Copies of this chain bind each other. A is one copy, B any other.
Amino acid sequence: MFEKIALVGIGLIGSSLARVIRREGLTSHIAIATRSPETLKRAEELGLGDSYSTGAAEAVKDADLVIVSVPVGSSGAVAEEIAPALKPGAILTDVGSTKGSVIAQMKPHLPEGVHFIPGHPLAGTEKSGPDAGFAELFENRWCILTPLPGTDPEAQEKLSEFWRRCGSNIDTMDPEHHDMVLAIVSHLPHIIAYNIVGTADDLATVTKSEVIKYSASGFRDFTRIAASDPTMWRDVCLHNKDAILEMLARFSEDLASLQRAIRWGDGEKLFDLFTRTRAIRRSIIEAGQEIDAPDFGRQVVAHPEKLAKG
């Protein structure tokens, strides 16, 4: 599809891209750049690319497709660094979890003739770094593009086809709406998970060893996303502030109302909410965005011999 693809950043997303690009044969040259010499060395040991450098400008030279996969707070610095080296006609995209802020940071640096099409693959795990990536990460996940006015339709279609070849489904929306949608489906859940794990960690009446021992009764579900990359999530919080504060306000309002129902013993109200929320999971499973196995399939993983039996 492309003569040369440059991956700036080779963490979970970048290294998953490297693997799926190779598997699908989407280019003859993968150039990898990361500022960290240790990470670069590891990427090379894993054989993720065809050339390696700590300088992003060097990697993007002659690339037809450049994918920036760095914490969103670093987008501006990366754009400034690579701008002079970008090939005219190249497609430049990113994978950041916030779009308004990334556009504001990157756009001013970019030369005419480069197709800048911001994007966000909704895929990830709680692991980070080049070892954590895998080629199937994007399979059946949504990739949202937030093209700017005047974007070349051909370049946009080419980028869409790239993501489809990686296994993704494509949606487009404007950056503001993206940031609002992600605030509720991703940013708020992460912030709440971080918060509840922090609250549990701080308790004096219940010891930390009790929290750990008895975590299977619910708590451990929250620890997965609260184990996500701290730098990435700090940047998300700082760069999608308005939408996140709006969602936090709604969440807290609802929680105050639920708390009041508990205090006053309003069983009917509790039952209504607890019934309504059950249906949503069913819809997510039906939409192919969640597995149907109970307990996220933990039993299946713990007892793989059962899979063989069917």
Contact = CB atoms under 8 A, between A and B. Distances in A.
A198 interface: yes
Q: Classify chain A's interface size.
A: 35 or more
Interface in A183-202: 184-202
A276 B295 CA distance: 25
A202 to B, nearest CB: 7
A276 B198 contact: yes
A17 to B, nearest CB: 16
A197 to B, nearest CB: 4
Interface string A204-234: 0110101111111111111111111011011
Contact of A126 (B188, B251, B295): B295
Contacts of A127: 294
A223 B215 CA distance: 17
Given A224-B221, A230-B275, A259 B248 contact: yes
A221 B189 contact: yes
A88 B167 CA distance: 65
Interface in A271-302: 271, 273-278, 280-284, 287, 289-291, 293-302
B278 A185 contact: no
Interface stretch (A22-30, A36-44, A104-112, A237-245): A237-245
A180 interface: yes
Contacts of A162: none
B297 A227 contact: no
Nearest to A121: B217
A211 B289 contact: no
Contacts of A132: 294
Contacts of A265: 238, 241
A216 B213 CA distance: 28
A3 interface: no
Interface stretch (A46-54, A75-83, A134-142): A134-142
A123 interface: yes
A286 to B, nearest CB: 8
A218 B210 CA distance: 26
A194 B289 contact: no
Contacts of A123: 216-217
A251 B199 contact: yes
A210 B284 CA distance: 10
A181 interface: yes
Given A212-B289, A224-B296, A238-B262, 20 more contacts: A122-B214, A124-B217, A126-B295, A139-B302, A180-B205, A184-B199, A185-B217, A185-B218, A189-B196, A189-B219, A189-B221, A189-B222, A194-B273, A198-B254, A215-B284, A215-B289, A223-B281, A233-B270, A238-B267, A296-B298
17 contacts: A126-B294, A136-B303, A180-B206, A184-B200, A189-B221, A192-B222, A212-B287, A212-B289, A215-B290, A216-B290, A223-B284, A226-B278, A230-B275, A234-B267, A234-B271, A252-B259, A307-B307
